[in-house]
Structure 1
Amino acid sequence: MANENPFKSILKTLEKPGCEFGKYYSLPALNDPRIGEGMSELSLADRATIANMSPEYGATMGFFPVDLVTLQYLKLTGRSDGTVSMIESYLRANKMFVDYSEPQIERLYSSYIALNLGDVEPCISGPKRPHDRVPLREMKADWHACLDNKVGFKGFAIPKESQSKVAEFNFHGTPAQLRHGNVVIAAITSCTNTSNPSVMLGSALVAKKACELGLEVKPWVKTSLAPGFWGCNQIHGKEKYLNQLGFHIVGYGCTTCIGNSGDIDEAVASAITENDLVAAAVLSGNRNFEGRVHPLTRANYLASPPLVVAYALAGTVDIDFKTEPIGVGKDGKNIFFRDIWPSNDKVGQVVHSSVLPDMFNATYQAITKGNPMWNQLSIPSGTLYDWDPKSTYIHEPPYFKSMTMSPPGPHGVKDAYCLLNFRDSITTDHISPAGSIHKDSPAARYLMERGVDRMDFNSYGSRRGNNDVMARGTFANIRTVNKLLGGEVGPKTIHFPTREKLSVFDVAMRYKSEGHDTVILAGAEYGSGSSRDWAAKGPMLLGVKAVIAKSFERIHRCNLVGMGIIPLCFKSGEDAETLSLTGHERYSLDLPSNVSEIRPGQDVTVVTDNGKQFTCTLRFDTEVELACFDHGGILQYVIRNLIHTKH
């Protein structure tokens, strides 16, 4: 089997002890003379893939030095010789260019992580998190372990007697079957690897070979192609064979990876829900958190574009590609993975002959011209935006209503109810989903009350300009597990005064109308995943005053501060369980009314109504964050400063 892009192996390596969230990882060490010459052999597209995936391996960013490979890429993408020469001269003069033909200066790093590129092997990640990497050779065994395991990141708790269940259904007049692990969505999509010509052409070569051998994708597998770069569809030979297998271009932007997968066929959806099947999606995207890709695909695996094609052909993730056939060819013979997989040399030859400067030049020239629809849009005049009260997409936000020029000062928490009690690794997709709007959700009710048909709901991501929709979508992920409900799955919680079980939005609005504060209890890595601002805006609009967690993802903690929500960390070795906190308590936290009396990172005491008290770390980490908190949030802080500057 040919090796894949190395980012997944780097991701796995960076998960080892000592690798921390929020670090900066520099990749020149891959070319350190004490380690080897791996980095100089990586193409620029591969380097970009690795660097772009830094959030998935917990870093703030990853970067590579500029070298001859970088300059070659600039020429390939249509930059003139003069421009490239000027760039090289500038970087050399500033000691920022790496020339491997010259003696290398020994560089010092705070720590080293070794990765032997010779050990890189094909793998996928899932079924519920990007960092749950599975070597391809172990996939079948891992899949069966996931069926057996209790419900969690690597488990579905399917009873042994139900694991071989076969769901018979009728697909547009043709008898069909579905089983656990059958692929119902196969999407070549991503802002990252679909801009990488080697893997895109690799997927085309897999499709070409499959078509020549007579393999087909099952008609109920929803296939799609969403390149990250418009020029990708001009690469010779790519589109024809991918189209033949059902991978048609659906657009150039965020699609399946962020939940814009669209509906799957009604017959397939019914077969999944009526038989409680764990259906699978395989996509070349960056993220696969629960409920993100599609409401009906509980298992979601990240793979390279060529592997997406392979799994679409196989129709299941329950397969050992080494020993089991991927399908039956037109001559009646079994076709194996090795029969359709291209060699690295073959991919390299096609990239060399297909990826040419003219392709990039044509694309760059077209960018400034726009398109007829865009060019015909009317441009309103005036200095202020004219809000349309009837719009369900763009709505005047409430952040500055009743705002005064004087900062409101710090706030504490008074007898707050626990709105939600979470486990570890709650992602921003759990907090503020970007995908489809469920027909029975508060957001759906809001849209229908305003005359929006269900077919026009679109997604939360498309309606992020409307705070009323997004507040209703906060904690609306259908895979949410709230410990207040004893492990029940779904976007509901308890209104403690009445003991009613309602949607999270409805409970939050009741608490607000009754004048009650709310808090959230959580485990480790709260807010991991996409750096989604609505994952902080939404809870603020629901009235959440504080989040008490074992740890926070770095960017999300900053976003909570920016929205005026207090981030609190349990002390080391403690959490809600060790402190016997159930979430049925009411919580109070007193803070000084003068922000100058609060120190970044100080210890504070949280008191409950049943007599318990515990110490937390106040995660305002800088004086600037305290200033934002004093103003009620970063938006108000910026506006007041701008007004003061003008006057």
Structure 2
Amino acid sequence: MSDTLKTAMQLAVNNKNYRYYSLAKLNEQINIAHLPFSLKILLENLLRHENGVDVTFEDIQALAQWDPQAQPATEIAFTPSRVVLQDFTGVPAVVDLAAMRDAMKSLGGDVQKINPLSPAELVIDHSVQVDKYGTADAAERNTQIEFERNKERYGFLKWGQSAFDTFKVVPPGNGIVHQVNLEYLARVVFGAEQNGELTAYPDTVVGTDSHTTMINGLGVLGWGVGGIEAEAAMLGQAISMLIPQVVGFKLTGRLPEGATATDLVLTVVEMLREHGVVGKFVEFFGSGLQHLPLADRATLANMAPEYGATCGIFPVDDETLRYLTLSGRSEEQVELVKQYAKAQGMFHDENSEDAEYTAVLELDMSTVVPSISGPKRPQDRIVLTEAKEKFQNLFNAFENGRDKKSIPVKAERGEYHFTDGDIAVAAITSCTNTSNPAVMLGAGLLARNAAEKGLTVKPWVKTSLAPGSKVVTHYLQSAGVLDDLETLGFNVVGFGCTTCIGNSGPLDPALSKAINDNDLVATSVLSGNRNFEGRIHADVRMNFLASPPLVVAYAIAGTMDIDVQKDPLGQDHEGRDVYLKDIWPSNHEIADTIQNNVSNDMFAKGYDGVFEGDDNWKNVKTSASELFDWQDDSTYIKNPPYFEGMTLDVAGISDIKGARVLAKLGDSVTTDHISPAGSIAEDSPAGRYLKAKGVDKSEFNSYGSRRGNHEVMMRGTFANIRLRNQLAPGTEGGWTRHQPSDEQMSIFDASIKYQKDQVPLVIIAGKEYGTGSSRDWAAKGTNLLGVKAVLVESYERIHRSNLVGMGVIPLQFKAGESAETYDLTGHETYDITGLENGNSKTAHITAHREDGSTVEFDVDVRIDTPKEVEYCRHGGILHYVLRNLAQ
């Protein structure tokens, strides 16, 4: 390492001497006192990795002299300390690594070079589904079903754990990746050997899930990336990024009686979305931090993707140290965090001066009021007092003012009438809230109060409780409220992501039939972070985010067509009306319950033997070879075709001639619309593929569980039931019209037809293309469908980067222009020229219309950095890494 500025020094902690790169020493040469906390972490990263090639003195100087108002223009190389993965996105990452080993062998290289060079930890949390609910054995039965469905995938992951160095797997049944990361995996400060010397440095992380940002609440800089970027990071590749703008968010005051961290985060999401922070860092500061427990900070950090920021970070302070101690970290680790942060000027206390920011927003937390959000975007906050009126307006807009229907249903749990607006799914789910004892115990105390008054959940509501870690059940049991939640039907259904990612499981068949036969507007209420169309359940039209206590309250009411603060939720044993205020626990009661029932021994117990797994995991069979033994008949794990025919020669970026439009889409097309997710329909291309392979419909499992099989995933790309392709007007789902035949068919079938005829494809869309989770399959599927370029009005950060990582060229209309500007219908043939092997920031498009006329215009080429140009020239980031390692 170069260490041009001579910042390497020694730090004595716990009777050990650590080498570290001193920001105080740097400050003697360049004034960096004004830098935000997050940029100080990035600056240390550059100092430690300076080598004159990937990181230069000029890079360090550019970051040290950061101008808060400057538009991002300077590229730097960020090298994260570790990578965290969940199984939906982690399986294809490990599949790609296994495929790269095969490709490396074909290229004559050393297969052991395909190995993680920094810690990589995968938490299996996305596969459990709510098949069974409302019973004491629901979790056990769901776990059994999970292992039966996923034995191939789990065998593959066990192979990866033995085949790859520094790769660990947290088996199923332990919790949600981001909560496990917060409570157990995160170091905050590493003390590890680097270049032969014991070194102290910040814990930084990238993860294959956009909510990796939850760890920002602990002062760890990290964010979600696509699986392909994560794979590159695991293989030692720095992540190219532009020095970001940083928006400061000043918190003052404290939450009032009756308001929760969920209400706070929905308010913050709304404010930051309105301000606009896409591609920016957000950093929280202010006197309000002293009133904000670590769990509340984690809730705010978790939803950074919802407010659009790269990260939403809090500084290290006494609350950080308190939480590290509570969660069972060693005294030595806590002391290292404390001394290192103080030595680096990264420790926040009452004497800390505010940094300079690009902009500052301020929120007095005492003004926060109970809220929900929906029906399809987390930023669409609804004040709770206005929720009934808002629902009615939404219903009228959805159904063109028709009268509400009420249909009789004879279901397993009784006979009832199901009415428009009734709640079909009520779920306490998602690490956003299940990591927070205040809202979880708040829900438990509310359930106790409700049960004592004889309130029950309506029979049509599918209830579930999916704790983010075993720690949650320990403190719910200790407080004596788990029984009360179970009395209302909120039994533990498993430890992992469930309803929040669409693993809500089936509704009662009779209810599902009634909803679909009568076009009823069913709703859901969940304590999650995502409520996009079609995500939660295929039968549910409106999805609302709420705090866990409100989830329980709404489940008791059974409908969204209610003012829960004014209307009775139900009747007590004496037939008297019971209102929300009658059962809502006070802030003081919740705080006392936390104080008396959450302890560090619960964390120690919850994470004891966390990598070992239960008997189900121990009985999973696997092999111990350096190359994976691909099975031709597998429908879960397939060797992807990315490296077929690959040589050491680089093809470069060529102009595109004679392209057709596979789909023409509108605004706010999310990765949920693009990437396969949820259940697999029997009559879909993926369903037909599985049936042809002899898979019974009952064994289809979910798209997420089959992410290791490209044949399934490419068939499910752009197949979301709510996708509206303007080329196929009047349809919803993965439909298009093949050109020039104008024949309507599935997007997958059209893609195959185009590729057979060697016709390149493009996607055209509007604003905010690719918002949502950091799903690599949204880019991988796009690539495999033969799409060479995507042309939109604006991109979400991660998806644009993922497209580049798969060799798909992201193009953007000039400011103020759109497909409508040029009257583009999608029936044209497109020539895209002037790419100049990636050297040009502008391309020229000639669209040939059916009547023989043409329209021409320029677009921006959104290959943003020199490293991204290299990735595109190689055909993608994996090809770039593979060629470099092979040579």
Please tell me the TM-score bracket, short chain as reference.
over 0.9
For the 8 Å contact 1:66–1:96, the answer to whether it is kept is yes
**Correspondence for 1:127:** 375
In structure 2, how many angstroms separate the alpha carbons of the residues matched to 1:490 and 1:376? 40
Q: 1:390 to 1:498 in 2, by over 3 A?
A: same
Shift of 1:362: 0.9
Q: Residues of 2 paired with 1:256 and 1:244: CA distance?
A: 20
How far apart are residue 562 of structure 1 and its match? 0.9
Q: Is residue 386 of structure 1 aligned with residue 629 of structure 2?
A: yes
Structure 2 counterpart of 1:510, from 750, 753, 756:
753
Partner residue of 2:318? 68
The alpha carbon displacement at 1:175 in A equals: 3.1
Q: CA deviation at 1:295?
A: 0.5
Deviation at 1:474, TM superposition (A): 0.4
Deviation of the 1:169 alpha carbon: 2.1
The Cα of 1:159 is off from its aligned counterpart by: 3.1
- Pairs aligned (count): 623
**d(CA) in 2 for partners of 1:536, 1:79:** 38
1:595 equivalent in structure 2: 837
Residue 34 of structure 1: aligned partner: none
Kindly provide the amino acid, as one letter, of the partner of residue 96 in structure 1: M
Q: What does the per-residue CA deviation read over 1:344-388, in whole Å, with 9 as the maximum and x for residues that have no partner?
A: 111111111110111011122231442222223334122211001
1:159 aligns with 2:400: yes
Name the residue aligned to 2:269.
Answer: 11
Counterpart Cα distance in 2 of 1:276 and 1:106: 54
SS in 2 for 1:534: helix
Aligned 8 A contact 2:828 2:847 in 1:
no
Pair 1:83–1:404, CA change in 2 (3 A): closer
Per-residue deviation, 1:529: 0.3
1:155-194 to structure 2, matched below 5 A, reads 156=398, 158-160=399-401, 162-172=402-412, 174-194=414-434
Between 74-83 and 260-269, the greater mean CA deviation after superposition: 74-83
Asked whether the 8 Å contact 1:431–1:475 carries over to 2, the reply is yes
CA spacing shift, 1:172–1:110, aligned 2, 3 Å: closer
Query: How far off its partner does 1:433 sit?
Result: 2.9
Quote the Cα distance in structure 2 between the aligned partners of 1:544 and 1:91: 47
Instruction: Determine helix, strand or coil for the equivalent of 2:641.
Output: coil
Supply the AA of the counterpart residue of 2:374: G
Tell me if structure 2 keeps the 8 A contact 1:122–1:135: yes
Matched, 1:215 2:215: no
Instruction: Specify the code of the residue in structure 2 equivalent to 1:26.
Output: E
Question: 2:279 matched to which residue of 1?
Answer: 22
Deviation of 1:546 (Å)? 1.0
Alpha-carbon offset, residue 8 of structure 1: 1.1
* 2:549 match: 306
1:539-596, Cα deviation, whole Å (9 max, x unpaired): 111111111100010110000111111111111111011221111111111245x627
Pick closer, same or farther for the CA change 1:268–1:98 going to 2, 3 Å. Answer: same
How has the CA–CA distance of structure 1 residues 606 and 49 changed in structure 2, closer, same or farther, with 3 Å as cutoff?
farther
Please state if 1:96 is matched with 2:366. Answer: no
Give the deviation of 1:82 after TM superposition: 4.4
Maintained 8 Å contact 1:13/1:115: no
Q: Is the CA contact (8 Å cut-off) linking 1:314 and 1:327 kept in structure 2?
A: yes
Q: Which amino acid aligns with 2:359?
A: S
1:326 to partner: Cα distance = 0.8
State the SS of the aligned residue for 2:643.
coil
What is residue 620 of structure 2 aligned with on the other side? 377
Deviation at residue 2 of structure 1 after TM alignment: 0.3
Q: Give yes or no for contact 1:606–1:616 (8 Å, CA) kept in 2.
A: no
Q: After TM superposition, give the deviation of residue 487 of structure 1 in Å.
A: 4.4
Shift of 1:603: 4.5
1:499 Cα deviation from its structure 2 partner: 1.9
Q: Distance in 1 between matches of 2:331 and 2:656?
A: 62
Tell me the amino acid that sits aligned with residue 244 of structure 1. T
Residues 250 and 174 from structure 1, CA distance in 2 versus in 1: closer, same or farther, beyond 3 angstroms?
closer
Does the Cα contact within 8 Å between 1:604 and 1:618 map onto a contact in 2? no
Structure 1 Cα separation of the partners of residues 332 and 650 of structure 2: 54
Unaligned runs of 5+ in 2: 1-256
Alignment-derived partner of residue 519 in structure 2? 276
8 Å contact kept, 2:423–2:460: no
How far did residue 63 of structure 1 move?
0.8
Please list, as runs of the form range in 1=range in 2, the aligned pairs for 1:36-115 lying within 5 A after superposition: 37-100=287-350, 103-115=351-363
Q: Could you tell me how far 1:229 is from its partner in structure 2?
A: 1.2
Q: Is the 8 A contact 2:832 2:843 kept in 1?
A: no
- CA 1:355 to 1:273, structure 2 compared with 1: closer, same or farther past 3 Å? same
Counterpart in the other structure of 2:391:
143
**For 1:55 and 1:589, how far apart are their aligned partners in 2?**
32
Q: Is the 8 A contact 1:292 1:433 kept in 2?
A: no
Distance 1:219 1:170 in 2: 11
Q: Distance in 1 between matches of 2:372 and 2:754?
A: 43
* Structure 1 residues 402 and 42: alpha-carbon distance in aligned structure 2, compared to 1, 3 A threshold: same
Secondary structure of 2:378's counterpart equals coil
1:282 deviates by 0.9
Q: 1:147·1:163 contact (CA, 8 Å) conserved in 2?
A: no
CA contact (8 A) 1:326 1:336 kept: yes
Contact 2:830 2:845 survives alignment (8 Å): no
Do the aligned residues in 2 keep the contact of 1:419 with 1:519 (CA within 8 Å)?
yes
Q: CA deviation at 1:511?
A: 1.0
| 2:856 paired residue among 613, 618, 621 | 613
Shift of 1:133: 1.2
d(CA) in 2 for partners of 1:408, 1:457: 39
The share of aligned pairs that are identical, in percent, is 49
Partner of 1:153: none
Contact 2:427 2:551 in 1 (8 A): yes
- Choose the corresponding residue for 2:713, options 462, 470, 493: 470
* 2:867 counterpart of 1:630: no
Q: Secondary structure at the match of 2:424?
A: strand
Task: Give SS of 2:788's match.
Answer: strand
Q: For residues 163 and 245 of structure 1, what CA distance do their matches in structure 2 show?
A: 31
The CA distance in 2 between the partners of 1:488 and 1:372, in whole Å, is: 47
1:409 & 1:137 partners in 2: Cα distance? 58
Cα contact 2:413–2:459 (8 A) shared by 1 = no
User: 1:67 deviation in Å?
Assistant: 1.2
TM-score (norm 1): 0.94
Q: Is the strand fraction higher in 1 or 2?
A: 2
After alignment, is 524-533 or 104-113 more displaced? Answer: 104-113
- TM normalised by structure 2 equals 0.69
Amino acid at match of 1:119: T
8 Å CA contact 1:180, 1:279 repeated in 2: yes
SS of match in other structure, 1:199: helix
